[in-house]
Structure 1
Amino acid sequence: MIKKIDTIEQFEEVLTKEETFYLLKHSLTCPISQEAYNEYEKFSKENPSIPAYYLAVQEARPLSNEIAEKFAIKHESPQAILFSTGKAEWNASHWKITKKSLEQAINGEH
């Protein structure tokens, strides 16, 4: 199940609590972002043991900016980021966000 986060505090809590998790930066108005969200959702349904979160860029701009700055990842939307032990290990954007790319990243094939 994909959980929505909106604040920096929520993100910091997830970063502390979860060993490994995915985060999707999602735009509510972009059709490419909707496709990426659909792929993310498919991945999440088939891999329920891997925590999956998302933020809506229009609703959580401070959080989106904080992640870009803190982890030195240029902001893009849509953008999927794999976090492990408090670090951003992998990220992809736009059409590169697929169920297969998410599976490969979690299995260390990136």
Structure 2
Amino acid sequence: MQWQPLTSVEQLEQIKAESREHAVVIFKHSTTCSISATAKSRLERQWADVGLGQVTPYYLDLLSYRPISNKIAEEFSVRHESPQLLVIKDGECQYHGSHLGINLQEVKKLAS
């Protein structure tokens, strides 16, 4: 799994455009939260097993880039949570899960 850092609001337009070609994942992570660390570790361990090689994963450090998280909530009409995983496809959020309820099988269904 190769995380792409999400560090600017302008990248959201790029992500929406990219999502018209293939599904894109945004993972919102709090670097000081143990639940967030557990969710991130689970994602990284399960990514290859689930077969999500065609999905681009973006990583957002919430503590460093909180305004981007706010823009994501506004842009994709989802309530902010942390940790949170969103699947963007065709320019829209097709799935969002949070905490240990993040389900990579659901992500795989949408990515196919």
**TM-score per shorter chain, which class?**
0.7 to 0.9
Tell me the CA shift for residue 39 of structure 1.
1.7
Match of 2:109 in 1: 107
Matched AA of 1:25: K
Q: Is the 8 A contact 2:47 2:104 kept in 1?
A: no
Q: TM-score, normalised by structure 1?
A: 0.86
Aligned-partner Cα distance in 2 for 1:87–1:16: 10
Q: Is the 8 A contact 2:83 2:99 kept in 1?
A: yes
- Write the deviation string for residues 31-68 of structure 1: whole angstroms up to 9, x where unpaired: 00001111221243342221111100011111100010
Are 2:57 and 1:52 aligned?
Answer: yes
Residues 53-92 of structure 1: matches in 2 within 5 Å? Answer: 53-92=58-97
Is there any run of 5+ residues in structure 2 with no aligned partner, and where? none
Is there any run of 5+ residues in structure 1 with no aligned partner, and where? none
Q: 2:33 aligns with which of 2, 27, 30?
A: 30
Q: Is the 8 A contact 1:44 1:50 kept in 2?
A: no
Match of 1:9 in 2: 10
Q: 1:43 to 1:22 in 2, by over 3 A?
A: farther
Aligned-partner Cα distance in 2 for 1:94–1:26: 10
Matched AA of 2:93: A
